[in-house]
Amino acid sequence: MSLFGRKYADGDRLDIAGAVVQLKVNGRTRRISLRLDRRQRQIIASAPSVALLSEAATFARTRAQWIKDCLAALPEPVGFAPGMTVHLFGQPCQLELAPHTHRLLSAQSGEGLRIAGRGEGVAYARATLRTIQREALRVLTAQTEQHCQTLGVRLPSIAIMDARSRWGSCRAALPGKPAAIRYSWRLALAPLEIADYVAAHECAHLLELNHGPQFWAHVESLVGDPRPYRAWLRAEGGRLHAIGLPGPVQAV
């Protein structure tokens, strides 16, 4: 028997204050910690080893009020549906029903963008999501190409993801493999300048795989002062994570 009660396994789920708390082993950390997973709308209780998961569970129970308050502050989930208006890189986009497969239609005669396609319920929402993911990949690839050219670095491979806690990630080049950058598709729901900042941030990592002074100097050379963009993501990130589908989704 564990010193802190019953034994737990990596991935076990608890019900604390009416919320889901998932236990996770994170060998890169040295201490017990709690964090909010906005996309899954749950709390992650991390421990450095399986042996300390019981301690993580006990710690989570002592923070029941924090967990309750944290989840109560999240925006209500909003699923994609006909008649809804979203913003794609700052431009209003109406979701519509149509007899054809989903496609993004350009603005015409003073109208905004439109995503039109057939289906209903979850099927319609998933088709809409795939359309937005394709547009996210197109725009973020263009922004990445521009920043790579300015920095004088080779273009990495680029992909779209649905990350829980990151807007982007950068992997250094490996023998026989180019560097790789992945972006959250939800950046398509943010203004273009915000998405462009994230692209600049990840491209700067192609030169500096850290957040030291030289890294931030590269970011500033591309987009100027990064603080307003970072503040926007902190303030609005929860809203972006509430839009789309309720569960994990597959990136294009």
Output the six-digit token pair for 152.
């004088």
| pLDDT confidence of residue 182 | 97
| pLDDT confidence of residue 196 | 98
Average pLDDT, the chain: 90
Among the ranges given (98-102, 122-126, 222-226, 245-249), the one the predictor scored with the smallest mean pLDDT: 245-249
Residue 18 vs residue 143, higher pLDDT: 143
Q: What is the domain partition of the chain in residue ranges?
A: 13-72, 78-244
pLDDT (tens digit per residue) in 29-58:
889 999 988 777 889 999 999 999 999 999
The DSSP string of 16-61 is ETTEEEEEEE-TT-SS-EEEEETTTTEEEEEESSGGGHHHHHHHHH
Residue 236 vs residue 165, higher pLDDT: 236
Is 90 exceeded by the pLDDT of residue 108?
no
Is the separation of the CB atoms in 26 and 165 below 8 Å?
Answer: no
Cα separations in angstroms, 39 against 75, 137, 239 = 11, 20, 10
* 192 band by pLDDT with thresholds 50, 70 and 90: very high
Its pTM stands at: 0.78
Strands 42-47 and 19-25: parallel
| pLDDT confidence of residue 152 | 96
* 246 band by pLDDT with thresholds 50, 70 and 90: very low
Query: What is the residue whose two structure tokens read 């190409």?
Result: 145
| pLDDT confidence of residue 14 | 93
Q: What are phi and psi of 160, to 5 degrees?
A: -110, 140
Is 90 exceeded by the pLDDT of residue 7?
no
Is the separation of the CB atoms in 229 and 193 below 8 Å?
Answer: yes
How many CB atoms within 10 Å of residue 85?
11
Q: Which CATH superfamily is domain 78-244 in?
A: Metalloproteases ("zincins"), catalytic domain (3.30.2010.10)
| pLDDT confidence of residue 158 | 97
